[in-house]
């Protein structure tokens, strides 16, 4: 009891008052054991991650020993089943990249706009309606998306692909052109003196609309005449992956937008900026890092997805011509792993088995690095923000 008085920590006194010396020692050992067990369990995800890396690397390494890097990353000749097998995975890497790029091109603008709308434009009651929609999009299993892509979307693309694409192009291009025309005519007319300003503005507007009409109609005609040979192609996979990546992008970037303080917004409004100007010039730059993180997470979601690309991308192991041609079938890393695993003989330790682990290692490293980068970005912004 005497020593308790010398202890300065008030919290400890209370608890120590209630137990004897032996019990105290017992307690402290017990709690140490408890604590270390707790840490052990808590590090289960650390252990799991280490194990995943270990097992993937263990089976990926023999491939590089057997075949070397150069063919793997430098050639696009993928003939894994032949006597003299070739394992050029370049086309497969490019295929993965291409569908991901397509998905991001679609989902980032839509996702960021939607998150802006959710955070700043929609009234609270409507927000409560939209949120479940996003949650449902996120909850639908990937195989269902894949089924839709294969059974509904692919035949649609193949039969009416041209008109579908041209309609989509109209929907995107017309508002874009309208905004562009308004802005440029306004800027142009600003260069003239006051008395001709109105006329010059109308003239510029008319000219702009004529030019954009010309280009849009050219694009429309081109797309409308397009014949899509196969409905299962990179475009199909990209669109569906884009929809799947949307919820991630929307929710993460919405969080980032909400984290931007009200004071910034109010300051901007006080200076007379409109809502659009506030959002584009103040809020989005302030939430830049969060939005970048959202995009990275979206990329990770798209590149790691298996079922959709397996069912809808066409699985041709070659680089499209030209490389950005989304209308050609491509083969992706995940689909190759899922599809080829069954034919690869594990027992004999063939290169065909290990090459799949090498691909998995590629995916894993990509996920790991991009996750790390996004965390760094967020952390950095937090430090500079606070």
Partner 1 sequence: MRSILKSIAVFSCALVMLSGMTVGNAAAEERIIIDGSTTVGPIAKAFAEYYMSLHEDVNITVSESGSGNGAKSLINGMCDIADMSRFMKQKEFMAAVEKGRMPVAHVVAVDGLPIIVHPGNPVGNLTIEQVRDIYMGKIVNWKEVGGPDVQIVRVSRDTNSGTYETFETMVMAKEKIHENTEYVGSNGAVRQRVQSTPAAIGYAGLGFVDRTVKALKVNGIMPDRNTVSSGTYPIARPLFMFTDKYPKLGTHLHAFVSLYLTPKGQEIIEEIGFIPVTKY
Partner 2 sequence: MEVGTRKLLDRSFTSVGFFAIILMGMALLILLQPIIVRGLKAFIFRGTVEYREMSLEQFGRGNAEALARDLDEALEARKPVYDILDSFEEEMKESGPEFRRQYRSDFSELKGLITELLGPREGAKEKALIRKKYGQTRYDRALIKLHQVLFVEGYDYSDTSGMGKSIETPRAELFAGTTIERLFGVLESDIEKMLKPKMTLYWRFLFDESKDAHFFGGIWPEMLGTLYLSIGSMIFAIPLGIITAIYLAEYAGHGKFVSLLRTCISSLAGVPSIVFGLFGLAFFINTMHVSSSKSVLAGSMTLALLVLPTIIRASEEAILAVPRGYREASMSLGAGKWFTIARVILPAALPGILTSTIISLGRAAGETAPIIFTAAVSVGKPLGLFETLSQPTPALPWNIYNLATEHEAVDEIRHVQYGMVFTLVAMVLLLNLTAILLRARITKKLRG
Site for partner 2 in 304-363 (CB under 8 A): 304-307, 310-311, 334, 337-338, 341, 346, 356-357, 360, 363
76 interacts with, out of partner 1, partner 2, none, CB within 5 to 8 A per kind = partner 1
Is 161 exposed, middle or buried, given 0-12, 13-18 or 19+ CB atoms closer than 10 A?
Answer: buried
The position carrying tokens 């306004």 is 186
| Residue 324 makes contact with partner 1 by CB under 8 A | no
Least distance CB 218 / partner 2 (angstroms): 24
Which residue number, 43 or 81, has a Cβ lying nearer to partner 1?
81
* Interaction of residue 287 with partner 2, rule CB under 8 A: no
Q: Are 250 and 118 in contact (CB under 8 A)?
A: yes
Which residues in 344-383 contact partner 1 (CB under 8 A)? 344-348, 350, 352
Choose from partner 1, partner 2, none: what does 364 bind? Cβ within 5-8 Å by kind: partner 2
When binding is defined by CB under 8 A, the residue of 55, 79, 213, 323 that contacts partner 2 is 55
Nearer to partner 2, 167 or 338 (CB): 338
Instruction: Report how far Cα 40 is from the mean position of its chain's Cα atoms.
Output: 32
Q: What proportions of the chain, in percent to the nearest 5, are helix, strand and coil?
A: 80, 0, 20
Token representation of residue 128: 């409560």
136 binds, among partner 1, partner 2, none (CB under 5 to 8 A by kind): partner 2
- Residue 274 in contact with partner 2, rule: CB under 8 A: yes
CB-nearer residue toward partner 2: 140 or 199? 140
> How many whole angstroms separate alpha carbon 198 and alpha carbon 22?
94
Rounded Cα gap, residues 319 and 17, in angstroms: 76
Q: Which residue, 9 or 84, has its beta carbon nearer to partner 2? A: 9
Report what 329 binds from partner 1, partner 2, none; CB cut-off 5-8 Å by kind.
partner 1
Nearer to partner 2, 166 or 336 (CB): 336
Q: Which of 66, 226, 367, 377 binds partner 2 (CB under 8 A)?
A: 367
Nearer to partner 2, 180 or 264 (CB): 180
Identify which range of 40-48, 167-175, 214-222, 227-235 contacts partner 1 by CB under 8 A. Answer: 227-235
Q: Say whether residue 62 binds partner 1 (CB under 8 A).
A: no
Q: Is 190 in the site for partner 2 (CB under 8 A)?
A: yes
Distance separating alpha carbons of residues 267 and 283, to the nearest angstrom: 11
Q: Which stretch binds partner 2 (CB under 8 A): 69-77, 219-227, 251-259, 370-378?
A: 370-378
Q: Which is nearer to partner 2, 228 or 250 (CB)?
A: 250
Is position 294 an interface residue for partner 2 (rule: CB under 8 A)?
no
**Is residue 148 near partner 2 by the rule CB under 8 A?**
yes
Question: Bridge-partner residues for 79, per DSSP?
Answer: 86
Tell me how far apart the alpha carbons of residues 188 and 199 are, in angstroms, rounded to a whole number.
11
- CB nearer to partner 2: pick between 73 and 143: 143
Binding residues for partner 1, per CB under 8 A?
A: 76-82, 155, 158, 229-230, 232, 310-311, 314-318, 329, 331, 339-348, 350, 352
């Amino acid at each position: 009891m005497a020593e308790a008085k010398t202890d300065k920590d008030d919290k400890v006194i209370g608890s120590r008052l209630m137990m004897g010396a032996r019990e105290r020692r017992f307690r402290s050992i017990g709690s140490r054991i408890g604590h270390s067990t707790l840490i052990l369990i808590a590090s289960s995800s650390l252990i799991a991650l280490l194990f995943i890396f270990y097992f993937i690397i263990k089976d990926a390494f023999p491939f590089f020993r057997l075949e070397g890097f150069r063919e793997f990353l430098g050639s696009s000749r993928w003939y894994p089943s032949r006597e003299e097998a070739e394992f050029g995975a370049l086309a497969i890497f490019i295929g993965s990249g291409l569908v991901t790029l397509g998905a991001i091109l679609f989902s980032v603008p839509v996702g960021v706009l939607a998150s802006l709308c959710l955070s700043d434009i929609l009234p609270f009651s409507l927000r409560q309606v939209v949120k479940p929609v996003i949650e449902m999009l996120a909850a639908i299993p990937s195989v269902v998306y894949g089924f839709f892509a294969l059974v509904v979307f692919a035949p649609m693309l193949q039969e009416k692909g041209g008109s579908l694409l041209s309609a989509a192009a109209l929907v995107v291009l017309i508002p874009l052109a309208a905004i562009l025309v308004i802005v440029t005519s306004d800027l142009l007319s600003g260069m003239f003196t006051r008395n001709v300003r109105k006329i010059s503005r109308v003239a510029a507007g008319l000219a702009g609309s004529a030019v954009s009409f010309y280009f849009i109609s050219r694009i429309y005609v081109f797309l409308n005449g397009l014949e899509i040979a196969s409905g299962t192609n990179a475009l199909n996979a990209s669109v569906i992956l884009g929809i799947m990546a949307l919820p991630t992008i929307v929710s993460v970037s919405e969080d980032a937008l909400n984290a931007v303080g009200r004071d910034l917004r109010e300051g901007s409004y006080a200076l007379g900026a409109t809502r659009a100007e506030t959002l584009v010039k103040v809020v989005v730059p302030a939430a830049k890092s969060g939005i970048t993180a959202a995009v990275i997470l979206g990329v990770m979601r798209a590149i790691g997805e298996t079922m959709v690309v397996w069912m809808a991308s066409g699985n041709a192991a070659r680089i499209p011509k030209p490389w950005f041609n989304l209308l050609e079938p491509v083969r992706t890393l995940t689909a190759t792993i899922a599809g080829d695993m069954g034919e690869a003989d594990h027992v004999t330790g063939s290169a065909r088995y290990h090459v799949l682990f090498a691909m998995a290692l590629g995916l894993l490293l990509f996920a790991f690095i991009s996750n790390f980068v996004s965390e760094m970005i967020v952390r950095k912004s937090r430090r500079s923000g606070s």
